[in-house]
Chains A and B, each alone.
Chain A
Amino acid sequence: MGEAARLYWRLVGARVRSQLEYRTSFLLDLVGMFLFSFLDFVEVLIIFHNVPRLAGWSVAEVSFLYATSSPSFAFADLVFGHLDHFGESIRDGSFDLVLIRPRGTLFQIATADFQLRRLGKALNGVVILAYALAVLEIGWTPGKVAVLLMMIVAGAVIFCAVWVFMICIVFWSVEGKETANAFTYGGKFLTQFPITIYDQWLRRFLAYVVPMAFVCFFPALYLLDKPDPLGLPPWVRFASPAVALAAAGCAGMMWRLAVRHYRSAGG
């Protein structure tokens, strides 16, 4: 484990160094990412320009949801975002190379194309979190600080798990990027709003199948002292880490299953 971590840093570090070589270009990319991910938030603002509250949530509260899901998503995107292009290595058979190297397959894929500029997506989350925290009056206790940190970490793990799980489609169908994106980017979009605004089936799907509701909705209920509109028991609000671990386990198993299914294109 320790050795894997060291190796990860070395491989990713090398990528980062090469990307920082062209500094202006890198900064432009970073700013571009920052502005582009800011558009989602502009949408939130446009919506609240038309109504004062959405399903009983104020603009500051929805901003809080946005701001806590954003860094989680950005982290997952940083670590696994390039999996979107993974289908190509299945098609042209270059995944063979990965199989003959003496390291975990997922580990190699994760280090294959690390893009530091994706950090731009996390930046806007931090900015908006600062805004939301300044406006909201949360009675801070050590417990709440812990839950805030926990939800961001657990959320990141859940997003990572969904990313890995969904991209496994490409082992069977080669073209799977769009479907996977519907769950990763789409999931990110869904987490930005209180889940009570969705249809019942979508709400259940989010809470029980793809555990997006655990990224920030349930913990946020606790932090903002809001009643649970679904009437679930209170421990659900603290269940995110357990859910995240379970999701990661599922994703890991799915990946193994998928790799075993792989047949080379003979490249």
Chain B
Amino acid sequence: MRGSVLLALFQQRSEIGGYGAGDTITYVWLTQGLLATIGLWGWKELGERIRSGDIVIDLSRPLDVQLGGLAFDLGRAWYHALFRGIPPVLVGALVFDLSGPPSLLAWSAFLLSVALAVSVSFAFRFAYNLSAFWLADYRGMAALAMIAATLFSGFLAPVGFFPRWLAVIAYATPFPAMIQTPIDIFVGKASGAAVAGALAAQAAWLALLLLAGRALFAAGARRLVVQGG
């Protein structure tokens, strides 16, 4: 449905922000497939555990809370990729002529990019869930995070369709690294050195968010007072 709306644009223009009509259809089906895999929306487990005090159990385990969580999340992403990621893209490929990665190298770059996107998304979710250490009701923060992620990740419309100033803002955030980057690689919009650059940018965001998450977690855990029982 979103596809029909975006495609209507191409009755009047042949290319927008480097995307042709075929790329846009591919984009639409891929976002549907990626949505669940990346876990863009709604993850409150950690926040809930902090609120209820169960986080203490995690702290006493000989397992790093953040990296352990990342491992769990990558497992979850596998499951979602198999059952909710690939089917819609296959359906799309049957009905429409989708533009796929041109080479084996591009395919592997795409898979690596998705893995990085899942990790960036997790690192981001981990970070905002930590607001539960300071706020009794962290849902407001979670809602804001969800809004920002939906808009800037390129889920709503490809970032290339944005007005320039909005695109600049989007690329100053980690969100395009969650949806837009893997899709750009899939449709072959980025190639060669640009792919390497895009993957490096994803990795940089991942490192930054993981470090920020660690710092916040350490600060929060120091502050933590748990009700006994």
Contact = CB atoms under 8 A, between A and B. Distances in A.
Interface string A15-40: 00000000011001101100110010
A25 B140 CA distance: 8
B144 interface: yes
A234 B16 CA distance: 37
Contacts of A49: 161-163
Interface string A42-63: 1100110111011100000000
A75 B163 CA distance: 33
A190 B4 CA distance: 10
B1 A50 contact: no
Given A46-B161, A197-B4, A198-B4, A36 B137 contact: no
B151 A55 contact: no
Nearest to A52: B12
A25 B150 CA distance: 22
B16 A197 contact: no
B156 A39 contact: yes
Contact of B156 (A24, A28, A42, A186): A42
Contact of B151 (A24, A39, A189, A198): A39
A66 to B, nearest CB: 12
Nearest to B158: A46
B162 A32 contact: no
Range of interface residues on chain B?
20 to 34
A47 B1 contact: no
Contacts of A35: 143-144, 147
A164 to B, nearest CB: 22
A177 to B, nearest CB: 14
Contacts of B196: none
B157 interface: yes
Contact of A55 (B6, B8, B157, B161): B8
Interface string B1-24: 110111011011100100000000
B9 A47 contact: yes
A36 B143 contact: yes
A198 B6 CA distance: 10
B8 A28 contact: no
Contacts of A46: 156-157, 161-163, 166
A39 B147 contact: yes
Contacts of A199: 4
Given A32-B143, A35-B147, A36-B146, A54 B8 contact: yes
Interface in B36-73: none
Interface in A148-182: none
A47 B6 contact: yes
Given A46-B162, A51-B13, A193-B5, 18 more contacts: A25-B140, A28-B137, A32-B140, A36-B143, A36-B146, A36-B150, A39-B147, A42-B151, A42-B156, A47-B6, A49-B161, A49-B162, A49-B163, A50-B9, A50-B16, A54-B5, A186-B1, A197-B5
17 contacts: A25-B139, A28-B139, A28-B140, A32-B139, A32-B144, A32-B147, A36-B143, A36-B147, A39-B147, A42-B156, A46-B156, A46-B163, A50-B161, A51-B9, A186-B1, A189-B1, A199-B4
When A and B form their complex, which 6 residue pairs have the shortest distance between CB atoms, in order from nearest? A32-B143, A28-B140, A197-B8, A198-B4, A46-B157, A51-B12
Interface of A: 24-25, 28-29, 31-32, 35-36, 39, 42-43, 46-47, 49-51, 53-55, 186, 189-190, 193, 197-199, 202
